[in-house]
Structure 1
Amino acid sequence: MNVQIDITGADAQGRVFLTWTPVQATAKIVNGTGAGADVVLRSTGTVGGLLFDTNRTDQGGASLQLSLPGNGQPVSFWIAGEFKKPSVAYGDAVVQASDKTTGAVLGSKAVMVRIRKSANTLSGPERDRFLAALGALNAKGLGAYRDFRDMHTDDTTREMHGSPGFLPWHRAYVLDLERALQVTDPTVAVPYWQFDMGAPNVFTEDFMGSPNGDGAVSFRPGHPLEQWTTDSELGITRNPDFDISGSADVIDEKATMRLGTTFIRFWGGPRGMEINPHGNAHVSFTEASPIHFIGTAVRDPLFFMLHANVDRLWAKWQWVNHHTSPTDADAFAPTAPNNIGHHLGDTMWPWNGITGSPRPSTAPGGPFPDTGVTPAPGTTPKVMDMFDHLAVGGGDPLGYAFDDVPFELPPTVVAGGG
């Protein structure tokens, strides 16, 4: 007798990538004698941790007992990555089914708890897989990274800056890139540069490069970004205006969380987070650095690690204030009627393919990429689709999570089976 474990979101190769959000799974007896069995599911991985429950909850445990019928009928349960126990490689998280009475192992399934982590704490293999995928996406200036570069220019800035859609749009943007990287290596997640802290492991020749005296970034020989090319120019220029052993010239995370408990105060105005820490992080590099300016910032791949951290700060603010629902009046700010692309129900450029005034004249990249992990946010995401990335309010998650933002049901949500 064996136990087969099937988890929602498996790819064509049967690989499963989990976050902190519980997903549905089943266990069933195969090759049995017709007799049922009581089995215990356990997390037995070497690094990644797993939690189980019979309901969709944030209170799962490291083991779960199930009674499986002998006719092979599957029994449902929920599974999630255990907060603070992410994977570092595929297969270091394992769900194991054993006989309750004898302890005999009846089946197991290796998975990965794939989580966005601080770039400064990545293991060497995690860092190198990310860099290899990023280098492949750029392909010496001939790859799909050109589309991401063309999305974020002076001509397209009204789609993503200076209005409430700033945070949802950039959340979609980083996720689009992440999914593009995962086509090359599905174990990759975009790490974040926590710019209010020192990141000595990031600005090195082994990772994002070390600037020389004139700001040209150098890499070790054979580095995946050694031939980085954008706008037909080889190389990266990044001249920090701060001591790279310390933080950029930004307010710290605690101050960011204190900007306001409503979206309009948190995001907007001269004291909102779009200005500081986000804007200050960009201009913590000199004007000789492309990342300093909106129109050229994406020439530097550090951009996406910077914005992964912006997204993390928004995600943490949402969690702290229980503002994950776009229908929550304090979770999103109203905007002017003519400000297309920044209303909850607006589809977002360029994924909607809409061109012509007031939208930009082109829509690079095509529809939003799908993934077997989750159907969200769809091929033409709306502003509202980018809010609840962990799906704490139900529905489908966006398929990523941060290492310090847990899945936690809001006080008004009662855990249940649906």
Structure 2
Amino acid sequence: MAYTRKDVTALTRTERRRLVNAFLEIKRRGEYDEFVRTHIEYYVSDGEGGLRTAHMTPSFLPWHRQFLLELERALRRVDSSVTLPYWDWTKDRKAGAAPWTDDLLGGTGRITDRQVMTGPFAYSAGNWTIRESITDARFLTRDLGRRRDPIELPTRSDLEWAMSDPVYDSSPWDSTSRKGFRNKLEGWGAGRGPVAWRNHNRVHRWVGGDMVGGASVNDPVFWLHHAFVDLCWTRWQKRHRNHRYLPAKPPGIGDEQRGRIVARHQKLPPWDVTPDQLEDVSGIYRYV
């Protein structure tokens, strides 16, 4: 029977407590840091050689869908009542609203070093030491809204720009693709700085701190953010029922993307699953 993923603002006090406790327990067990390592390993950009599965590639959405499922299963092994909530950043746009409350994820970092000082994931609480990262910091960092150079979260119209595109993805199947839902949602735009950060990418920048870069999983908001991205894909699928994951077949001989991206029926490392198998997850979970 399919379980439910809720809007984070709809969680009861008990649901918030159980979610936090499950996160802290898999962190205590060492499981959580494995997820951080996986994301760092598979954060491969256009400029690097080899296969891209997690970012700047058509499989951005199914890869993260499976990643969320793996994390959710770990949480549910601790507490079977727990499911991942989603953070609708087009609606809940203020740094003081959920999920940034003391009983959930805590707030922004302090001015001096961006260290998160409130909530259960603050280093001072003793339960959330950063062990896997691209820096030497041991504490969780955030800079909600970017104090020195403020930016805004994506708006509903920003998201609609992506949702209205009926084509899933298009050549050259990377961060430079200007057509297709996937890259418009992932958010690699033209130019530099804030104008180039769209939707998913802009949210990472707005949160700041650990959420910027391959070690972004160190901030639990990563999962709430990507649950909403996954919900957006689900909504796109319902709106554009005649359109599916692309490419359907691997790029041909001579194509520079050959061997660098995952086609619809190819395995999606590091798991034994294909994008095709992840297009319909209605038997596993649903959103409300």
How far is 1:256 from its partner?
A: 4.5
How far is 1:230 from its partner?
A: 2.5
Higher RCO (CA 8 Å, separation ≥ 6 residues):
2
Letter in 2 for 1:386: L
How far is 1:387 from its partner?
A: 0.3
Q: In the alignment, what sits opposite 2:224? A: 305
**After the TM superposition, which parts of structure 1 deviate over 6 Å for at least 4 consecutive aligned residues?**
221-225
Q: In the alignment, what sits opposite 1:193? A: 87
Q: In the alignment, what sits opposite 1:108? A: none
| Secondary structure class of the residue paired with 1:159 | coil
Gaps of at least 5 residues in structure 2 are 45-51, 170-178, 188-197, 253-257
1:219 aligns with 2:125: no
Q: In the alignment, what sits opposite 1:401? A: 286
1:229 aligns with 2:129: yes
How far is 1:248 from its partner?
A: 4.8
- Written as runs of structure 1 = structure 2, the 5 A alignment for 1:253-272 is 255-256=160-161, 258-264=163-169, 265-269=179-183, 272=184
Letter in 1 for 2:285: Y
Aligned length: 241
How far is 1:213 from its partner?
A: 2.6
Change beyond 3 A, Cα 1:195–1:169: same
* Native 8 Å contact 2:61 2:230 kept in 1: yes
Partners in 1 of 2:120 and 2:76 — Cα distance?
25
Change beyond 3 A, Cα 1:162–1:339: farther
Q: In the alignment, what sits opposite 2:39? A: 152
Q: In the alignment, what sits opposite 2:269? A: 349
How far is 1:151 from its partner?
A: 0.9
How far is 1:400 from its partner?
A: 1.0
Change beyond 3 A, Cα 1:273–1:178: same
Identity between Structure 1 and Structure 2 (%): 25
Letter in 2 for 1:208: L
Change beyond 3 A, Cα 1:130–1:332: same
How far is 1:169 from its partner?
A: 0.5
* Native 8 Å contact 1:259 1:266 kept in 2: no
- Written as runs of structure 1 = structure 2, the 5 A alignment for 1:72-83 is none
Change beyond 3 A, Cα 1:261–1:217: same
- Written as runs of structure 1 = structure 2, the 5 A alignment for 1:31-180 is 114-139=3-28, 143-153=30-40, 156-157=43-44, 158-180=52-74
Change beyond 3 A, Cα 1:221–1:171: closer
Change beyond 3 A, Cα 1:290–1:321: same
Letter in 2 for 1:299: N
CA offsets, 1:347-378, max 9 Å, x none?
A: 12112xxxxxxxxxxxxxxxxxxxxxxxxxxx
How far is 1:339 from its partner?
A: 3.4
Partners in 2 of 1:226 and 1:211 — Cα distance?
18
Structure with greater proportional strand content: 1
Partners in 1 of 2:259 and 2:121 — Cα distance?
46
How far is 1:155 from its partner?
A: 5.6
CA offsets, 1:202-247, max 9 Å, x none?
A: 101111111243322233479997521222654311111269xxx9
How far is 1:401 from its partner?
A: 1.0
Partners in 2 of 1:317 and 1:268 — Cα distance?
10
1:292 aligns with 2:206: no
| Secondary structure class of the residue paired with 1:145 | helix
Letter in 2 for 1:350: P
How far is 1:126 from its partner?
A: 0.9
Aligned alpha-carbon RMSD (Å): 2.6
CA offsets, 1:155-188, max 9 Å, x none?
A: 6422211111111111000111001111001111
* Native 8 Å contact 1:242 1:248 kept in 2: no
Q: In the alignment, what sits opposite 2:143? A: 239
Partners in 1 of 2:75 and 2:17 — Cα distance?
13
Partners in 1 of 2:53 and 2:259 — Cα distance?
9
Structure with greater proportional helix content: 2
* Native 8 Å contact 1:341 1:383 kept in 2: no
How far is 1:201 from its partner?
A: 2.5
Q: Which has the larger radius of gyration?
A: 1
Output the TM-score relative to the length of structure 1.
0.53
CA offsets, 1:24-56, max 9 Å, x none?
A: xxxxxxxxxxxxxxxxxxxxxxxxxxxxxxxxx
